[in-house]
Amino acid sequence: MEFIDFLLEDFFVTGQPLIYGAMVSIVLVSIAIVFVLSYFKKWGWLWREWLTTVDHKKIGIMYIIAALAMLFRGGVDALLMRTQLTLPGMEFLDSQHYNEIFTTHGTIMIIFMAMPFLIGLMNYIVPLQIGARDVAFPFLNALSFWSFAFGAMIFNLSFVIGGSPDAGWTSYTPMAGATLNPGPAQNYYLIGLQVSGIGTLATGINFIVTILKMRAPGMKMMRLPIFTWSTFITSIIIVFAFPILTVALALMTIDRIFGSHFFTLTGEGMPMMWANLFWLWGHPEVYIVILPAFGIFSEIISTFARKQLFGYKAMVYSMVVIAGLSFVVWVHHFFTMGAGGAVNSFFSITTMLIAVPTGVKIFNWLGTMYKGRIRFDTPMLWSLAFIPCFVIGGVTGVMLAMAAADYQYHNTYFLVAHFHYVLIAGTVFGCFAGLTYWYPKMFGHKMNEKLGKISFWFFVIGFNVCFFPMYFLGFAGMPRRTYTIEPEWMALNVTASIGAILMAIGFAVFVYNIYYSFRYSQRETHGDTWDGRALEWATTTPVPFYNFATVPKIEGPEAYWRMKENGRTTYEKEKVEPIHMPSDSGVPFVMMAFMFIASFGLIWEWIGIAIAGLIGVLACMVIRSFDYDDGFYVSVEEIKQTEKKAREGEQ
Amino acid sequence: MKNIYLRVKLWAALPALSLLLLVSGCGELTVLDPKGPVGESQKDLIIFSIILMLIIVAVVFIAFTYMIVKYRDRPGRDEKDYDPDHHGNTTLEIVWTVIPLIIVTALSIPTVITIYELEEAPEASSDKEPLVVYATTADWKWFFSYPEENIETVNYLHIPTDRAIEFRLSSADSMASLWIPALGGQKYNMAGMENTLYLQADEEGTYEGRNSNYNGSGFAEHTFEVHAENEEDFESWVEKVKNTAPELTQEEYDSLLAPGLEEELEFSSTHLDYVDHGTNEGRDYLIERHKDAFEEPLHLKGGRGAGDE
Amino acid sequence: MSAHTDISTGPLEYRTQEGRMNILGFWIFLGAEVVLFSTLFATYAVLFGRTADAPVPADLFEMPMVLIMTFLLLTSSFTCGIAIHHMRRGSLKGLFVWLGITLALGLGFLGFEIYEFVHYAHEGASLPSSAFWSAFFVLTGTHGLHVLLGISWAVLILIQLRQRGLTPVTSRKVFIVGLYWHFLDVIWIFIFTSVYLIGMVV
Amino acid sequence: MSELTKRIPKQHVVGFVGSIILTVAAAWAAVGSDLPTPWIITSIMVLAVIQAFIQLFMFMHMTETESGGIQAGNMLYGFFVAVVIVAGSIWTMSFGYTHDHGGGSDNDNETEEHEHMDH
C-alpha cells in the first residue's frame, strides 16, 4: 500500500489534466512504436542500422530528428505560456505549472534543441566538406549522441515522473537549492544536463581533431569551407566552456544530495557563485549555438548569390575574435548584482565590443550579394530573413550591454524579446535554412519549394509579430517569467500570441513538408542539387557510407567549384583503393543506457541503483578498453559497384 | 519573383506596423516616462542608444534591400553586373570595422559615466541626507524598515519626494530584485549581503514596485506600492504609523517570514532589532525557522496566512 | 579512414594516423581538464574563509604530510616519464618495472589522502561542515578520484601489454595514460600551492 | 635519438630535481620566510607555474611531433581561460560585504589577498 501511495503521490505527477493527457499520449505513442517495429519485424534493423551505428551521417540524422521532436515539445510549451498570458484570468495554468513550463521551455530549446540540431548538421556535413570518410573518433561520436539522447530522455521524464524542475533554465540558487526546492524535480535538470553535457564535450574534441587531422590533401586551414570553420571555432568554445557547466552542475548536485554548502544559505555558502559559474559557461554557450548558424548562412548566401564569399579571411577572424571575447563578457547577465562600477564598466565595454566582429560579418554577407545573381530558394529565404531580424536582435543586445540602462531592462520582456530575436533569427532560422539546404544530400530529394515558402512566410511574419511587441512590454515594465499580467499589457500580449500561432502554423507546415516531400518529391539523380561550391556536393546522392571513393587533391578554396571547372570528380576509377572503415558497436548505446539507470537512481537519491548503474558504465568502459577491433576494409570491387550504381543517373 | 518588391515593402513595413499597433494598444511605457532623476538619466541613455541603433538599423536595412532587389536573378539583367570572382575589398572592410568601433566608444563613454553616477545618491537632492530604507524580501513579500523613524511596513512604501532614498537591499531567502520602473533601475536582494540602490521621486503619485527576479510560485504577486508624497505628508504619515501601529515583536516577525503572501501591514518598530538578513549572521535566520515550510507545495491565493494551509 | 598510414621511424605510438589523432585528442581533453579544475579552484578561492563553525584550515593543514604527498606524486610523475622512455627504447620489462613503481607511489599518495580526509573528519571538518570545507573536499577529492581512475586505467593497460606486447596501439595507450598521470601532477602542484601553502600562510 | 640509449634520460632527471627544489623552495617561502603575505603568495604561485611548465615540456613532451604547436596552443588557451575563471570569479564575487557587521570583514580581507595571489 505504501508503495502505491508513493507511486501516486510522489512518483507520478498527478492532478493536472494536461499532464494526464501527455501521459496517455506518451503511452499510446510508445505502444504504437513497439507495435509497428514488431509488426514489420524491424527490431533487428533498428539495432543494426541505427542504435549501433558509428556512421557520422546516420548519427547526424538521428540528432536532427531528436532535435525536431524537442523543438516540437519546446514549442508546445511556448504555446501553453502564450495561452496563459492571453487569458490570464482563466487559470489555464496555475503559477506552479507555468513555472515548470517556462523552465523546461528554456532548457529544452537551448540544450536539447538548438545544440543537437546544429551538432546534427555538423556531423553530417563537416566530414563531407573536408573530404574525410568519417569523424576522427566514430565510436566517441556514437557515445556523444547517445549521451545526448539519454540526457534528453531523463530530462523529459520529469514531466510525468516526479515533477518538472521549476527554477528557470538558469536555476538560480538558493531558490534551486535543496532547502527551498526539495524533491527530485530540480535533480532532473542537473543530471539531465550533466549527462548530455558529457556528450557535447566529446563532440567538441572530436570535431577539433577531425578538422585538424582529417582534411583532404591540399585543403589548408584557409581553404576550409566557412561552415567547417564555424564548427571548428564552436568546438573550441565547447571544449573550454563545457567543463565549467560540468563542475557547476556537479556542485549543485552535491549540495542537493550530499549536503555540501556551495550555494546554500546555511554553512556560509555563496548562492551568487552559481550565477557566476552558470554564466561563465552560459555566455560562451550562446556563441556555441550562434556561430554554426553563421557558418550555414555564409554557405547558403554564397551559393545562392552565386558568388564567392565576400571577405573570407575577415569572416574567419571575426569568428576567432567572437570566440575569444565570449569568455570575458559573462557578468553582463547579472549587472544588477551590485558588483560595482569598475566591474560593470569593464563588462559593458567587452560586451559591446562583440558587436564589432558581428557587424563585420553582417556587412560581409551584404558584400557577398553585391554583384551576385541571387536566387530565392527556401534556404536562401531563411538566410535573407536572418539578416534584418538578427540586426534588430543585435542592436538591442548592444542596448542591453549598457549596464546603466540594463538596470531597467534586466528581467523584463525587453530581454526576452532580445534573446528570441537573436536565437530564433540566428539559430532557428539557421537550422531551418541548413536543413532545407542539405536535405537533398541527406535524403535524396528536395523539400517541396512551395510548402517551404508557405512555412517560411508564416514563421517569419509570426516571429516578428510575436516578439517585436515584447520590446515595448519591457518598456511598459512587464517582468519575464510572470504567469499573470496587468491589464495595460493585455493588447501587446494578445498580439504576441497571434504571432506565436502563426509560428506554430509555420512549423506544422514545415513538418508536413517533410512527409509530403518524402511521398511526392522528385528523387535526386545528381549530387549537386544547388550548383554548390563546397566538397559535400561532390559526392553522389545518396552519399555512400564511405563518403568518397577517391579523395580529391584540393587546389584552392571552394574545392568543388574548382573541381567542376576542371571536370574532376571524387571517383577516379584507376585510383580506387580499399577503404578502411570503423566497425559498428553497441557499446555506446548500452553504456549510456546504464548511465540512464545511474542517473535515475541519483535523481531519486536511491544510491544503490545509482551505484549499480555506474558499475555498468564502468564495465562498458573496460569492455571498450579491451576491444581491439580495428574496423574493416571495403573492397575495390564493392566501391566500383556502388559508384557505378550511384552515378548512373548523372551521365 | 515578380512581387518581390511588394514583399520587401511588406517586410520593411512590419516593424512600423507593429509600432503603430503598440502606440494605440498600450497605455504608457513606464521606463521611458520616469518620475525621478535616476530613471531620467537612464532614460536619456536609452534614448541616446535607440537613436544610434536606429541609424545602424536603417543603414543595414537600406543596404540589404538594395542588394536583394538590384542583384536578384531576373531575366534581362546586365551580364556585366554579375561578378562571381569578386571576393573582398580591404578598404571597405576596414571602414566597417572602424565605424562600429567608433559607435561602441560613443556608447561606452556615457554608459560608464552613468554607471558611476548611479552608484551615488542623485545630485539633484545633494542638499539633503538620503532617507535610509532597508528593503528586505522573504518569499513572497517585502519588508521596508525605516531605521531612523523606527517604523516598518510590509508590501507598501511611503517616500518623500525630492529627496534621495537609499535602499539597503537584502533577502531572507531566495534572490529577488527590487524594481520600481517609474523611478529607476533595479538591483538584486540577496541573503547575507547588502546592496545599496539610490532612487528618487520628483513627482507625487503612486507607483508600482515589484520583485522582477523570478523566485518561485508567489513571484507574480511579489509586488508593492510606492506612495511618493511631499515631505510634510510623509512626516505626518510617519507620525501616524508611530502612533497607531503595533510594535513588531520577534514572534510576529518570525511568523511573517514563513513562505506565503501577505497583506499590507505597518509596525512602530523594525525587525532590525532582531536580525539583519544582510549580514553573515542573519543569512540563515529564516531557514532555521521555516525549513519545513518549503517541503509542501503552496497554494497561494493572497492575503494573510494563505500560505499556511 | 586512413588508419594505417605508416611512418616507419619515430616512436611507435605516433606511427599510425589513429595513434596521432588519439594523442592530439587527449591533449585537447587535457585542455578541458584545465578548465574543469580551474573552475574548482575558482570556487575554492571564492569560498575561502567561509568556514562557519568548523575549524579553520591553518589549524588542520600539516606541512610534513603535505610534503610527503607532494614528493610521492612528484616522484611518480618522474618514474612515469622513465617508463615511457623505456617503452620508446623498446624495453617491455623496463616499462613494466617503472610503471609498477609509478602505480605503487600513486597508491601511497591515495593512502595518505584517505588518511588525511578521515583525520579532518575527526577534527570536525567534512564535506557538509561549511562552504569552505565543501570546496576543499570537492577540489582535492576530484583530484584524488582522478588518481584512482588513473591507477585503474593503467592496470587495465598493463594487462593488455602482457597479452599483446608493444604494438602501435598498446604503446599509444601507455603514452596517453602517461600524459594523464603527468597532468595530475600538474594539478597537484597547484593544489599544493594554492590550497595547502596559502592555507597555512593566511 | 641518442637519448634513447640511456637508461635514465638526463632531461627527466633535470626536471625531477628541478621540481623537488621548487617544491622545497615554495614550502620554505610559505612557512620559513618572513616575507609579507602578498609577496609569499605571488612568489609561490610563480614557482607553481614554473613547475607546471617543467612537467609539460620535460615530462609530457608537449611540443613533440607536428601537432606540437597545436598542443601547446591548446594548453595556453586553457591557461588563459583558467586565469579568466579564477581571477574573474574572485573579482566579480568580492562585493556586497560593505555593511557586514562582524564575521564578514575578515572575509573581505581574505578575498582580497586571494585576488593578489592569482594575478
Q: Note the residue count of chain B.
A: 309
Tell me if C78 and D16 make a contact (CB, 8 A cut-off).
yes
AA letter at A583: S
Tell me if C202 and D37 make a contact (CB, 8 A cut-off).
yes
Chain C positions in Cβ-Cβ contact with residue A269 (cut-off 8 Å): 47, 50, 131, 134
* Distance in angstroms (rounded) separating the CA atoms of residues A90 and A76: 19
The confidence band for B27, taking pLDDT boundaries of 50, 70 and 90, is: low
The residues spanned by each domain of chain B are: 37-73+86-118, 128-308
Chain D positions in Cβ-Cβ contact with residue C85 (cut-off 8 Å): 3-4, 8-9, 12
Residue A187 CB partners (closer than 8 Å, separation 6+): A253, A256, A257, A602, A603, A604, A605
Q: Is D50 on the interface with C (CB under 8 A)?
A: no
pLDDT digits (tens, 9 = 90+) for A389-428: 999 999 999 999 999 999 999 999 999 999 999 999 999 9
Say which residue, A13 or A347, is predicted with more confidence: A347
What average pLDDT score do residues A99-124 get? 96
Instruction: List chains adjacent to chain D, taking adjacency as at least 3 C-beta pairs closer than 8 Å.
Output: A, B, C
Q: Is B98 on the interface with A (CB under 8 A)?
A: no
Taking alpha carbons only, the member of C68, C53, C80 closest to residue C157 is C80
AA letter at B83: D
Tell me if D59 and C39 make a contact (CB, 8 A cut-off).
no
Predicted pLDDT at A6? 78
Residue B257 exposed, middle or buried by CB count within 10 Å (0-12, 13-18, 19+) = buried
C-alpha cell of D93? 564575487
Chain A positions in Cβ-Cβ contact with residue C160 (cut-off 8 Å): 625-626
Instruction: List chains adjacent to chain A, taking adjacency as at least 3 C-beta pairs closer than 8 Å.
Output: B, C, D
Chain D positions in Cβ-Cβ contact with residue C70 (cut-off 8 Å): 23
pLDDT at B5 over 80: no
Residue of A nearest to C49 (CA): A268
Q: What is the mean pLDDT of chain A?
A: 93
Strands B223-229 vs B156-160: parallel, antiparallel or unpaired: parallel
Residue in the block written with cell 568548523: C54
Residue A558 CB partners (closer than 8 Å, separation 6+): A225, A308, A533, A534
AA letter at A20: Y
The Cβ-side half-sphere exposure at C99, using a 13 Å CA radius, reads 30
Torsion sign, CA atoms A223, A225, A226, A232? negative
C-alpha cell of A568? 574532376
Residue A306 exposed, middle or buried by CB count within 10 Å (0-12, 13-18, 19+) = middle
Does residue C136 sit in helix, strand or coil? helix
**What percentage of chain A exceeds 90 in pLDDT?**
84
Chain D positions in Cβ-Cβ contact with residue C28 (cut-off 8 Å): 74
- Contact (CB, 8 A) for B200 and B165: yes
Taking one residue from B and the other from D, the number of pairs with CB-CB distance under 8 angstroms is 29
Does residue C90 sit in helix, strand or coil? coil
The confidence band for A23, taking pLDDT boundaries of 50, 70 and 90, is: confident
pLDDT at B12 over 90: no
> To which H or E segment does residue B198 belong?
strand B195-199
Chain B positions in Cβ-Cβ contact with residue A388 (cut-off 8 Å): 11, 60-61, 64
* Distance in angstroms (rounded) separating the CA atoms of residues D85 and A277: 9
Predicted pLDDT at A17? 76
Picking from A268, A281, A581 by the largest number of C CB atoms within 10 A of its own CB, the best residue to mutate is A268
- Contact (CB, 8 A) for C101 and C77: no
Taking alpha carbons only, the member of C169, C170, C173 closest to residue C4 is C169
- Contact (CB, 8 A) for A284 and A237: yes
Residue C32 exposed, middle or buried by CB count within 10 Å (0-12, 13-18, 19+) = buried
Tell me if A337 and B218 make a contact (CB, 8 A cut-off).
no
Residue B151 exposed, middle or buried by CB count within 10 Å (0-12, 13-18, 19+) = buried
C-alpha cell of D36? 609579507
**Nearest 5°: CA angle at C150, between C147 and C156?**
145
- For A280, which of D67, D70, D85 is closest by C-beta distance? D85
Q: Is D59 on the interface with C (CB under 8 A)?
A: yes
pLDDT at D110 over 50: no
Mark the ranges of chain C whose per-residue pLDDT is less than 50: 1-6
Taking alpha carbons only, the member of D68, C13, C17 closest to residue A136 is C17
AA letter at A498: I
Distance of CA A250 to the CA centre of its chain: 22
C-alpha cell of C88? 620508446
The confidence band for A257, taking pLDDT boundaries of 50, 70 and 90, is: very high
Predicted pLDDT at C29? 97
Tell me if A312 and B71 make a contact (CB, 8 A cut-off).
no
Query: Cα separations (Å) of A266 from A505, A508, B246, B281, C128?
Result: 49, 49, 32, 10, 10
Q: Inter-axis angle of helices B4-25 and B37-70, to 10 degrees?
A: 160
AA letter at A310: F
Q: What is the DSSP letter of B295?
A: T
A490-505 exposure pattern, b = at least 16 Cβ within 10 A, e = fewer: ebbbbbbbbbbbbbbe
- Please give the span between the terminal C-alpha atoms of chain B, in angstroms, as a whole number: 65
* Distance in angstroms (rounded) separating the CA atoms of residues A83 and A77: 10
Q: Is A341 on the interface with D (CB under 8 A)?
A: no
Dmax (CA) of chain D: 67
CA distance to partner chain A, nearest, from residue D107 (Å): 11
Does residue A215 sit in helix, strand or coil? coil
Tell me if D100 and B194 make a contact (CB, 8 A cut-off).
yes
Q: Is A403 on the interface with D (CB under 8 A)?
A: no
Picking from B2, B174, B193, B208 by the largest number of A CB atoms within 10 A of its own CB, the best residue to mutate is B174
The Cβ-side half-sphere exposure at C58, using a 13 Å CA radius, reads 8
CA distance to partner chain D, nearest, from residue A366 (Å): 33
Predicted pLDDT at C202? 79
- For B281, which of D95, D99, D103 is closest by C-beta distance? D103
What average pLDDT score do residues D72-81 get? 94
pLDDT at A175 over 90: yes
The residues spanned by each domain of chain A are: 1-41, 42-585+629-647
Does the domain at C12-201 match CATH 3.40.50.200? Answer given as no
Strands B131-138 vs B141-146: parallel, antiparallel or unpaired: antiparallel
- Contact (CB, 8 A) for B35 and A381: no
In this predicted complex, what is the ipTM? 0.93
Architecture of the domain made up of B128-308: Sandwich (2.60)
Q: Is B186 on the interface with A (CB under 8 A)?
A: yes
C-alpha cell of A291? 556561430
- For D92, which of A213, A236, A343 is closest by C-beta distance? A343
What average pLDDT score do residues A257-284 get? 95
What average pLDDT score do residues A94-112 get? 94
**Nearest 5°: CA angle at B151, between B149 and B154?**
140
Assess whether the previous peptide bond of D36 is cis (omega < 30° from 0).
no
* Distance in angstroms (rounded) separating the CA atoms of residues A409 and B177: 12
pLDDT at A475 over 50: yes
Taking alpha carbons only, the member of C6, C11, C8 closest to residue C166 is C11
pLDDT digits (tens, 9 = 90+) for B105-125: 999 999 999 999 999 999 888
* Distance in angstroms (rounded) separating the CA atoms of residues C143 and C185: 10
Say which residue, D107 or A606, is predicted with more confidence: A606
* B residues 201..260 contacting A (CB < 8 A): 208, 210, 212-220
Does residue A414 sit in helix, strand or coil? helix
Residue of C nearest to A131 (CA): C1
**What percentage of chain A exceeds 70 in pLDDT?**
99
Taking alpha carbons only, the member of A498, A513, A367, A532 closest to residue A449 is A513
Strands B151-154 vs B141-146: parallel, antiparallel or unpaired: antiparallel
* Distance in angstroms (rounded) separating the CA atoms of residues A416 and A470: 7
The confidence band for D115, taking pLDDT boundaries of 50, 70 and 90, is: very low
Assign a CATH topology to domain A42-585+629-647.
Answer: Cytochrome C Oxidase; Chain A (1.20.210)
What average pLDDT score do residues A230-254 get? 97
Tell me if A343 and D84 make a contact (CB, 8 A cut-off).
no
pLDDT at D2 over 60: no
A66-76 exposure pattern, b = at least 16 Cβ within 10 A, e = fewer: bbbebbbbbbe
Predicted pLDDT at A88? 86
pLDDT digits (tens, 9 = 90+) for A540-549: 988 999 999 9
Tell me if B39 and A408 make a contact (CB, 8 A cut-off).
yes
Residue D8 exposed, middle or buried by CB count within 10 Å (0-12, 13-18, 19+) = middle
The confidence band for B251, taking pLDDT boundaries of 50, 70 and 90, is: very high
Q: Is D40 on the interface with C (CB under 8 A)?
A: yes
Picking from C40, C51, C134 by the largest number of A CB atoms within 10 A of its own CB, the best residue to mutate is C134
Torsion sign, CA atoms D12, D13, D16, D19? negative
Residue of B nearest to D99 (CA): B194
* Distance in angstroms (rounded) separating the CA atoms of residues A310 and B85: 10
CA distance to partner chain B, nearest, from residue A585 (Å): 45
What average pLDDT score do residues B249-271 get? 94
Taking alpha carbons only, the member of C130, C143, C138 closest to residue C49 is C130
Say which residue, D94 or B1, is predicted with more confidence: D94
Query: Cα separations (Å) of A211 from A235, A317, B118?
Result: 10, 17, 49
* Distance in angstroms (rounded) separating the CA atoms of residues C19 and C4: 10
Taking alpha carbons only, the member of A27, A50, A155, A73 closest to residue A596 is A155
Contacts of the segment A599-607: beta carbons below 8 A, 24+ positions apart: A599/A150, A599/A154, A599/A191, A599/A192, A599/A194, A599/A195, A600/A154, A600/A157, A602/A187, A602/A191, A602/A253, A602/A257, A603/A154, A603/A162, A603/A184, A603/A187, A603/A188, A603/A191, A604/A162, A604/A184, A604/A187, A605/A184, A605/A187, A605/A257
Predicted pLDDT at D104? 37
The residues spanned by each domain of chain C are: 12-201
Taking one residue from A and the other from B, the number of pairs with CB-CB distance under 8 angstroms is 313
